[in-house]
Structure 1
Amino acid sequence: MSSIARLSALGAYVPERILTNTDLEKMVDTNDEWIVQRTGIRERRISAEEEFTSHLCIRAVEDLARSYEGTLEDVELILVATTTPDYPFPSVACRVQDHFGLKQAGAVDLNATCAGFTYGLHLANGLISSGLHRKVLVIAGETLTKVTDYTDRSTCILFGDGAGAALVEADPADPGFLAATLGSDGSGGRHVYRAGMAAALDGTVLEGNGKIVQNGREVYKWAVRTVPDGISRLLQAGGLSLHELDWFVPHSANLKMIDSITEKTGIPAERTLTSAEYYGNTSAASIPLSLKLARQEGKLKRGDHLVLFGFGAGLTYAGLLLKWGIDN
């Protein structure tokens, strides 16, 4: 099935409070030099005590609406990618729907962790290209700092809060979705998780008391092996060479990990868009935050070819080859 959809608008939001590496030095046994050398992260944003994922998502959609020339009143479906919803239910998507009064819009949350935004775009493209819908709002929002263990020096240095929003709509004359690749390895679920009611996974006792637990070494090895292969498949499916790729936009998990991925693929660092240095690892929100930063810097132009690649807990990933469809 050929795509008839394109990404037509983008917005993002991060909370006001900044948590620097120097701040973390006062909380846990770490230091700025150690954090930067291993992750590339210098700052991250922290949601206020009464600020939750739905609030961040609403702000991201408001930012999108300010630059979008059309209307959101005809949005038919809201997809929110998050692992940190305000409540188990109602969904964050329904909170967003209510705030904007989109009475004809369906609303559902999806959980693909750090690949959530790319999964959401992929689903939106499929629903539009099949003829079921014409306009879908895809949002990714996380308040990871609310589930971060600030006594664990290996994980608390990583995570931040933020949200991004994108509009995907039918445009048969100028479609932007060129190729996709999806995959998962559930056997690696024990390497990064947040335990809820389950006490064990495949015989492994789950600890953490509701906080994020991660075996960074194993996740790193999986990502550095998996993502380059996925990029190769995307380019082949889209009929593009590496030199024709304008931008690579990976999940900003860890900038040292991204360095390893780009080195393995041959993608120049100057063609890689990230958001981790000043926002930290924002899970599903990291890719739209990277895109927002690039737009602000005037890097993206209509017609550019981008690979977006989300990957994370599950283990799961989703990569997309897109033609940029937004005018700056």
Structure 2
Amino acid sequence: MSQQTISPVAAGASWQDHNIGIAGFGHHFPREVVHNDPDSEVVGNRIDEAVLGQVGVRSRHKSSEDETLLSLAVAAARQAVEDSGVDPAELDLVILTNWTEHVFRPELAPLVATEIGAHGAMAFDLAAGCSGFVLGIQTAAAYLCAPTHHTKALVVSAEQFSRRVRPGSKAEAVAGDGSGAAVITRGGDHRAQLLDSVTHVDGTLVDLTTATPPHGWVKSKPELVEQAAAHISSIVSELLQRNSLALTDVTWLVPHAATRPIIDGILSRTGVPDDKLVTNFEYRGHLSSACVPTVLSEFHAKAHFSPGDTVLTPVVAGGFFSGGLLLRF
């Protein structure tokens, strides 16, 4: 397997040596909630059955015409900033991750920064598919450790995945819309300390998931499930080994939950007990890069995470990207 690794900082160092952490969380979902009827599940083709299996999604959110990607991103961003107690004017950096609603110009991150009052912040967009949030956090952390003297950043992941599936298909019952955000700071008080992060890409697997013109509807190959589960298992092992941890040291696993077969494959390959798995897949659906940050935000708001909890967030994405964050609340 050919992989490219981006290490967090210089050998022997880690993000915690620089006191990098998440100071605030935010999430937002469109108004419309679509409920799936389990008795009238769409019967898919052979590939649908392999990738989607029994859908496993009871409800999901779908954007209306007036709910743009920008409005979703701004809502989550404002909540994260408020939760952090950071003045928006103090933000040095704003990163938006999204691939489902690309625009040519302008990029959306500068618009998010303007909308929330972060007028002095550097701002730009990232893609990397479903792994966008992990790459966004790692990129922000790198900025905060660079000789730019930045101390505060916002990472927001917003996706309208419902627009990237063929209408009437089985995949439509899985795809949801939403946004999640995190304020990451160097120093100060943190909701969660960033212990470590990894990102990889394997270009030999780029054709497992594609979304091409004219519609940009997602198409996946049956091998996606096995490769996704294998890559997530590898990320879990790598982060544990790098930090001299055992699986029993992980309190919660927050994976990118794309489909029920992938979730089952993660549990089988990693050996993580089902009661350690934290997702919102059943009632939010597949949210692409917004999956992990919305889970972190929703469950943080419900006080699900306790001080001292160690959380691992492995992700995979078409591309073929993989990565993960190691956090301690």
Q: Which TM class, normalised by the smaller chain length? A: 0.7 to 0.9
Q: Counterpart of 1:19?
A: 34
1:232 aligns with 2:242: no
1:90 aligns with 2:106: yes
How many aligned positions are there?
307
Q: Counterpart of 2:3?
A: none
Q: Is the 8 A contact 1:275 1:287 kept in 2?
A: no
Unmatched 5+ residue regions in structure 1?
197-208
Task: Identify which range, 160-169 or 269-278, moves more after superposition.
Answer: 269-278
Q: Is the 8 A contact 1:36 1:42 kept in 2?
A: no
- Return the alpha-carbon distance in structure 2 between the equivalents of residues 127 and 67 of structure 1: 22
Q: Is the 8 A contact 1:238 1:321 kept in 2?
A: no
1:270 aligns with 2:275: yes
Q: Counterpart of 1:42?
A: 58
1:151 aligns with 2:168: yes
- Return the alpha-carbon distance in structure 2 between the equivalents of residues 302 and 24 of structure 1: 42
Q: Is the 8 A contact 2:29 2:178 kept in 1?
A: yes
Q: Is the 8 A contact 1:20 1:42 kept in 2?
A: yes
State the 1:259 CA deviation: 2.3
- Return the alpha-carbon distance in structure 1 between the equivalents of residues 274 and 119 of structure 2: 44
- Return the alpha-carbon distance in structure 2 between the equivalents of residues 195 and 179 of structure 1: 34
- Return the alpha-carbon distance in structure 1 between the equivalents of residues 96 and 133 of structure 2: 8
1:217 aligns with 2:218: no
Change (3 A) 1:77 1:42: same
Q: Scaled by the length of structure 1, what TM-score is found?
A: 0.87
- Return the alpha-carbon distance in structure 1 between the equivalents of residues 52 and 208 of structure 2: 23
- Return the alpha-carbon distance in structure 2 between the equivalents of residues 8 and 302 of structure 1: 14
Per the alignment, in what secondary structure is the counterpart of residue 319 of structure 2?
A: coil
- Return the alpha-carbon distance in structure 1 between the equivalents of residues 143 and 83 of structure 2: 24
State the 1:55 CA deviation: 0.6
- Return the alpha-carbon distance in structure 1 between the equivalents of residues 37 and 199 of structure 2: 38
Letter in 2 for 1:316: F
Unmatched 5+ residue regions in structure 2?
1-9
Per the alignment, in what secondary structure is the counterpart of residue 73 of structure 1?
A: helix
State the 1:83 CA deviation: 0.4
Please give the root-mean-square deviation of Cα atoms over the aligned residues, in Å: 2.4
Deviation string, structure 1 residues 5-60 (Cα, Å, up to 9, x no partner): 1111100001110112139949x557xxx999623211110011121111101110
Percent identity of paired positions between Structure 1 and Structure 2: 25
- Return the alpha-carbon distance in structure 2 between the equivalents of residues 87 and 173 of structure 1: 36
Letter in 1 for 2:137: L
- Return the alpha-carbon distance in structure 2 between the equivalents of residues 142 and 24 of structure 1: 28
Q: Scaled by the length of structure 2, what TM-score is found?
A: 0.86
Find the partner of 1:130 among 146, 160, 163.
146
- Return the alpha-carbon distance in structure 2 between the equivalents of residues 233 and 38 of structure 1: 30
Q: Counterpart of 2:205?
A: 188
- Return the alpha-carbon distance in structure 2 between the equivalents of residues 86 and 225 of structure 1: 29
Deviation string, structure 1 residues 109-143 (Cα, Å, up to 9, x no partner): 00111000011011111111234321110000001
Letter in 2 for 1:304: D
Q: Counterpart of 1:204?
A: none
Matches within 5 A, 1:237-256: 237-256=242-261
- Return the alpha-carbon distance in structure 1 between the equivalents of residues 53 and 97 of structure 2: 30
Letter in 1 for 2:318: A
Per the alignment, in what secondary structure is the counterpart of residue 39 of structure 1?
A: coil
State the 1:263 CA deviation: 2.3
1:114 aligns with 2:104: no
Deviation string, structure 1 residues 197-238 (Cα, Å, up to 9, x no partner): xxxxxxxxxxxx323222252211111111111111101111
